Structure 1
Amino acid sequence: MQTLLTYSHAIAGSIVLILGLINFFNRKGSKNHVITGRIYVGAMWWICLSAFLIIAFYRFSFFLMVIGVLTFYASFVGVRVLKRGKTNNIHWYDWAVSIITALFGLGLIGYGINIFLMVKGFHWLGALSLLFGAFTISSGVRDIRFFLSNKERQHLWWLYQHISAIGGSYVAAVTAFAVQNSRLFMPEDYNWLAWVLPPALLNPVIAGVVRKYRQKNIRTIAQ
């Protein structure tokens, strides 16, 4: 079972890396984009589920569990905003997933603090736990605040959130690939950079794509 989970996890990861890149260049909303996107999300959810099973039964790691939660959350939100953009309905599971994600982030911060207390000094896993814990909390809290907001929704808000969320899930996949293969392209003492460099390099690209669509929308409205 462990072998099956591990190999299927790797295969799904390869599918995500390839399709995520293809969909980045596909015309948004096209038939190819929709079909590729559905396969991407299905593969991503299997990555998360298989990771949870491996962590739970074979190699427990609270840090990796929270990263899995964050990755699932990003892909879940990316799908749900498309539905909510059409119906404007927020269901109980939208609240539940956001709250649970924020709580896992809080737990990861506590985990990081505990590492520092145990080693009585600096430790890269503790630092990464604080960094990703804070990001996980902010992700959940941001959406909770969005649910509670009574402000008028920005035009095409769901498109911007979709790009940001799905893009974030792709960054997580690239980061996982970099971490698993870090020994091939960097010294062991600097393996922690594999956790930091993909988000640092790719998140500005995703933000730029969102900004591009915002400006295009503004020009369309102005005309």
Structure 2
Amino acid sequence: MLLALLFFPFFALPATALPVRLLLGLHIAAGTAALLIGLVPMLSRTGGGAHVRAGRLYTVCMVAVAATAGGLCVLQPLTLGRLFLTGIALLSFYLSFSGWRAARRRSVQLPTSDIVLAGIAVAVGLGMVAAGVWLGAVLFAFFGALICVFAGLDTWHGVRRAGPATGPAAWVLRHVTRMGGSYISAATAFIVVNLGRWLPAGAPSWAGLAGWLAPTFIGSFVILRAVRRYRARLQPRPDAAHPAKAARPLAGLALLLALAAPAVAQVPGRLTGTITDEAGRPLPYATVGVTGKGVGTVADEQGRFQLALPAAQVTASDTLRFALLGYAAQSRVAGSLPAGQLLTVVLPEAAISLPNVRVQARGLDSVRIGNRHYRTNLQTNFALGKQPGLNVGSEIGRVFQLPTRGAWLDTFEFVLSANDFDTIQLRINIYKLQGGTPAGLLLRYPIYKQLTRLGATRIRIDLRPEHLFVEENEIAITVEWIGHSRRGSQLALPLLMPAFATHLYRYGAANRWKKFTGMSTTMELLVLE
């Protein structure tokens, strides 16, 4: 997980990238195989050949599930849903591996290699807790804490060279509870991922909750019955004489899943609604997007919007952000959104204060910053073809280095290298920077541009009516795609590479910014100093 956090800025690959597709295919295949194979030991004769071979193969599958889940976490942007699945995969792996080792050695005494593995698992669990707290991923921290509990107990008993119970059949209890807990975790993850596809539109919220908790309750019942079966074979010791006490870690797993249940409430497949101000007037071109993901859109001139929420990308714990310059942004948790109902979002008006400007009576010199020519075959695209509705709200821009004494913004020019839409609406945004990426708008009011010309064209935006004096050493100016006619599939800007500039791109109205040094689109800024 620490590797995932380190490599995240460099490996934010889309879901369609070949490495992601290969890993995802292996992950799904291994998880499906584990769920099917895991039924064999439950239904076959205990200790028989089929039981032993299926248990070994199940453990191998869980190793593959955990490895591919970690790989997907490294290659893809860190999201709460991705962290949840990675955490539950790691927990399932450790439970299955420790349970299999107990049966293989027919002992609860841990050899040095298992003690080392338990110690590593504790370190990983602590890292998951720290990452979960830092990223606000509560479930990820919970799963890390549970790994710490199981692996910590193993480490403690291994160092002391004493098991939690003694006797010839004590290892059976460990094997049953660990393997059973692993299967419960894997089955829960499988149901959570697919529940949105299985349930019909408009299904009650309790249906999703029941699907989430069903593996825990059913699995706990089966495991406790197995524990009672072997209770008589354990030597009389208080901690081992009662199955309820012996299966306390399993009860902890059930409690964790119950606490996490609200986070997987059903997410509607499509969201429809209207964005208005406090007086009920529609707010045209307000943005709607899932925070940190490439899922978003822009409302039309009447404030109406439709947004698809793919189950593979959006989880119930994700946040939708509704925003428009001049109004206070509002957020909604995806799991709380009404299914099949029209949503009305009200944005309160917010005053925007800009720094005071000291005007001096002196001559002003003009300075042009940026790239004017665009002889290149490379393009950076707004429209990606397959899901044009999700592309609306994307932004493309660049960073401009300004004179050190400050400057008045006079004119902004950019080039469209491809456009086959009859009509497009664009919005020009000017940002201050924080950490090299856009952090806050410098405008009081939106700047819109409608274009009805097909093909390549140069567009000029007069910034003088904004009376914008900027003291920052660098700013970002972006072009945001906010509307289009029904006909059309291509909208792009030229991409220059190499270039002494920084290119900015954001796919989705509330997604994270991506920054690329050494490249730029054709944009030019005229300032007066």
Using the size of structure 2 for normalisation, the TM-score is 0.35
Which structure 1 residue ranges, 5 or more long, are not aligned? 117-124
Q: Could you tell me whether the CA contact under 8 Å between 1:69 and 1:101 is conserved in 2? A: no
1:174 aligns with 2:195: no
Q: Could you tell me whether the CA contact under 8 Å between 1:62 and 1:108 is conserved in 2? A: no
Pairing 1:62-77 to 2, within 5 Å after superposition: 62-77=83-98
- CA displacement 1:35-93 (0-9 Å, x = unmatched): 2222222222211222122222234455443333222211211221123326x763333
Name the counterpart of 2:216: 199
Pairing 1:78-157 to 2, within 5 Å after superposition: 78-85=99-106, 90-114=110-134, 125-126=137-138, 128-147=139-158, 148-150=160-162, 153-157=166-170
Q: Distance in 2 between matches of 1:56 and 1:107?
A: 15
Q: Secondary structure at the match of 2:168?
A: coil
Displacement after TM superposition at 1:197 (Å):
5.0
Higher mean C-alpha deviation, range 23-32 or range 9-18 = 9-18
Q: Could you tell me whether the CA contact under 8 Å between 1:66 and 1:105 is conserved in 2? A: no
* Letter in structure 1 aligned against 2:98: V
1:55 aligns with 2:68: no
Name the counterpart of 1:163: 176
* Letter in structure 1 aligned against 2:188: T
Taking structure 1 as reference, are residues 106 and 203 closer, same or farther at Cα in structure 2, changes over 3 Å only?
farther
1:20 aligns with 2:38: yes
Q: Distance in 2 between matches of 1:218 and 1:80?
A: 19
Q: Secondary structure at the match of 1:36?
A: helix
User: What percentage of residue pairs aligned between the two structures are identical?
Assistant: 29
Q: Distance in 2 between matches of 1:107 and 1:189?
A: 33
Taking structure 1 as reference, are residues 109 and 195 closer, same or farther at Cα in structure 2, changes over 3 Å only?
farther
* Letter in structure 2 aligned against 1:134: A
Taking structure 1 as reference, are residues 83 and 38 closer, same or farther at Cα in structure 2, changes over 3 Å only?
closer
* Letter in structure 2 aligned against 1:99: G
Q: Secondary structure at the match of 1:181?
A: helix
Higher mean C-alpha deviation, range 172-181 or range 91-100 = 91-100
Q: Secondary structure at the match of 2:166?
A: coil
Over the aligned positions, Cα root-mean-square deviation in angstroms equals 3.0
Q: Could you tell me whether the CA contact under 8 Å between 2:168 and 2:234 is conserved in 1? A: no
* Letter in structure 1 aligned against 2:189: A
Aligned pair count reads 208
Displacement after TM superposition at 1:105 (Å):
2.6
* Letter in structure 2 aligned against 1:56: V
Displacement after TM superposition at 1:166 (Å):
1.3
Q: Could you tell me whether the CA contact under 8 Å between 1:71 and 1:169 is conserved in 2? A: yes
Taking structure 1 as reference, are residues 145 and 168 closer, same or farther at Cα in structure 2, changes over 3 Å only?
same
Taking structure 1 as reference, are residues 192 and 107 closer, same or farther at Cα in structure 2, changes over 3 Å only?
farther
Q: Which one has a larger percent helix, Structure 1 or Structure 2?
A: 1
Q: Secondary structure at the match of 1:164?
A: helix
1:214 aligns with 2:231: yes
* Letter in structure 1 aligned against 2:91: L
Q: Give the greater-gyration-radius structure (CA).
A: 2
Q: Secondary structure at the match of 1:29?
A: coil
* Letter in structure 1 aligned against 2:26: S
- CA displacement 1:173-193 (0-9 Å, x = unmatched): 101101111213366899687
Q: Could you tell me whether the CA contact under 8 Å between 1:73 and 1:97 is conserved in 2? A: no
Higher mean C-alpha deviation, range 62-71 or range 73-82 = 62-71
Q: Which one has a larger percent strand, Structure 1 or Structure 2?
A: 2
* Letter in structure 2 aligned against 1:79: W
Q: Distance in 2 between matches of 1:133 and 1:193?
A: 24
